[in-house]
Structure 1
Amino acid sequence: MSQQVSRNNIDRFNGFSELYDQNRPKAPDEVIRILSMVLGRSPEIVADVGCGTGLSSFAWLNHAKQIIGIEPNDDMRAVAMNRWRESNCPAQLQFVKGLSTELPLEPSSVDLVTCSQSFHWMDPQPTLQEFARVLRPGGIFAAYDCDWPPAASPELEQAYIQLVDFAEKRASELIDNDKEAYKWPKDQHLQQIRKSGLFHYSREIVFHHWESCDADRYANLALSQGGLQTALKLGANEILSAAEQFREQVNQAFGAEARNILFCYRMRLGVK
């Protein structure tokens, strides 16, 4: 991956870190249970790479001795640091700036490397080489992603997809070629892990998690998608009216009450 593509992928997340943090799902408890089961014990040190606003890092506070959230985007990392201070600065958690191919970690020093909805923004083979460098023997790399949109109702999901697809199309039409971000296919994560030859065991695990959601949050989940935010930053103001129509549809469906919605996850892991 060129330095320009890397910079574009990082910059894609500028300007909407608060919206992201307030509406995106936290890392579910199932992640901790699954990875502790595969590891055979609770991890001592977890490196959460591409941690964003820390939603996937804070989840480990009561389950690991040390958690290192690594995030190259300054906006996202600033929100994580604010949340860390609001949580009375837990000593076992820290947030640092870093790239997936240049981790500020010693060789064979961590039990788990996790990527929560972030591995598709990383050049997979150089990244996996670096992950293998910092993992202890028997350590685990796990990339886990939720399917978009979360399951709520057929009508809302179709409207969500139409809005995001429209925004992605407008963003691709408006952006300069040298500014465009690149996303590696999520459905090839497991193949990339196996292709690397660095892990003696690999598999995909599918699980789900229910979360409470009201109309405002469901609408904002769509607005927190990077493609939609990119279109808005590029001046595609027609996205605003489309987003308002979507919000009205969500308000009608939810009313004033919250309901449980279903986030479906896919974890691809490799054991060193």
Structure 2
Amino acid sequence: MIPEGNLRSNVDRFTGFENEYDRYRPEAPPRVIDIITGYLGRKPAVVADIGCGTGLSTFIWKDCAERVIGVEPNDDMRRKALEKRASHSDAEHLSFVPGYSNRLPLESGTVDVVTCSQSFHWMEPVSTLREVARTLKDGGVFAAYDCDWPPTLHWSVEKAYNELVEKADRIISQLVKENDRAKKWNKEEHLNNLRDSGLFRFVKEIVFHNIEACDAERYVGLAISQGGVQTVFKLGSTALNTDIEAFRANAEAFFGGRTLEVMFSYRMRLGVK
């Protein structure tokens, strides 16, 4: 049973494309660890990564914390994370468990760091922050961080990327009743939500960038891995097929067979309990 404040549509949005998600989405950059541990002031004993998906934001803590817990309500995403964990001989201290952001399977006051990577906007913020504060130790750090879509490349390719995602959203609005659609909370409100909660002695927004190698296949894959595009596929619609092929041709023409350095821009909203 889903706890009050959570939506089945938000969980189901990520069903069935765990492989594409894991293949194309960026791993959380090392700068995340540098920033968070700097504010914590020590190596964390316990890190909880909420809405961890396939573990792209969880495995980065493998050598930087004594215990790491990925919490993920979607079975397909969590199954992929567990599959990856099985391939690591030095990951016994990593676990992936089912759970929801406002009812975490964690004891009170036992966690040094709680993170939400590309996930906090899928969670009801008030009850989530209350639960996060319950699990954190005094002086513990909560960090919700997201990268901007699309990654910085060239206006023409980025424009086509945005148009593809926007069309996917329009198709969903035509095919799915509003009450049955996944709900996003506004990322621009993350900092205010932390501040208004009264649960943190210090809050801050931090902006940083990470440079990654990217070719046309990956750039197109990033667009196709967006939840809206995947939802259109799951609805059985072919309305995006022509647009995807046009976007692919656009990206391939720009990259011209090259692998380029692409900038991923991140926004972190951090709170210290």
Contact 1:5 1:180 in 2 (8 A): no
Show the counterpart of 1:180. Answer: 181
How much does 1:3 deviate? 4.9
TM-score, normalised to structure 2's length? 0.97
Show the counterpart of 1:206. Answer: 207
Contact 1:81 1:95 in 2 (8 A): yes
Secondary structure of the structure 1 residue equivalent to 2:195: helix
AA aligned to 1:48 is D
Equivalences for residues 230-241 of structure 1 within 5 A: 230-241=231-242
Contact 2:115 2:144 in 1 (8 A): yes
1:217-258 C-alpha deviation (Å, 9 max, x unpaired): 000100000011111212320201211110111111112221
Equivalences for residues 158-173 of structure 1 within 5 A: 158-173=159-174
Show the counterpart of 2:157. Answer: 156
How much does 1:176 deviate? 2.6
Could you tell me how far apart the structure 2 residues matched to 1:232 and 1:186 are? Answer: 25
Is 1:20–2:18 an aligned residue pair? no
How much does 1:88 deviate? 2.4
Could you tell me how far apart the structure 1 residues matched to 2:20 and 2:179 are? Answer: 27
Contact 1:171 1:228 in 2 (8 A): no
How much does 1:4 deviate? 8.6
Show the counterpart of 2:137. Answer: 136
Could you tell me how far apart the structure 2 residues matched to 1:132 and 1:2 are? Answer: 18
Could you tell me how far apart the structure 1 residues matched to 2:137 and 2:3 are? Answer: 29
Q: Structure 1 residues 242, 11: CA separation in 2 closer, same or farther (over 3 Å shift)?
A: same
Show the counterpart of 1:73. Answer: 74
AA aligned to 1:258 is T
TM-score, normalised to structure 1's length? 0.97
Could you tell me how far apart the structure 1 residues matched to 2:89 and 2:172 are? Answer: 40
Greater than 6 Å deviation, 4+ residue runs:
none
Show the counterpart of 2:50. Answer: 49
31-40 or 87-96, which deviates more:
87-96
Show the counterpart of 1:59. Answer: 60
Could you tell me how far apart the structure 1 residues matched to 2:41 and 2:258 are? Answer: 41
Is 1:265–2:266 an aligned residue pair? yes
Q: Which runs of 5+ in 1 are unaligned?
A: none
Could you tell me how far apart the structure 2 residues matched to 1:4 and 1:164 are? Answer: 27
Contact 2:168 2:232 in 1 (8 A): yes
Contact 1:4 1:178 in 2 (8 A): no
Is 1:221–2:222 an aligned residue pair? yes
Secondary structure of the structure 1 residue equivalent to 2:228: helix
Contact 1:190 1:268 in 2 (8 A): yes
Could you tell me how far apart the structure 1 residues matched to 2:121 and 2:252 are? Answer: 32
How much does 1:89 deviate? 6.0
Q: How many residues align?
A: 272
Contact 2:46 2:113 in 1 (8 A): yes
Q: Structure 1 residues 144, 180: CA separation in 2 closer, same or farther (over 3 Å shift)?
A: same
1:33-69 C-alpha deviation (Å, 9 max, x unpaired): 0001111111111000000000000000111111000
AA aligned to 2:144 is A
Contact 2:6 2:123 in 1 (8 A): no
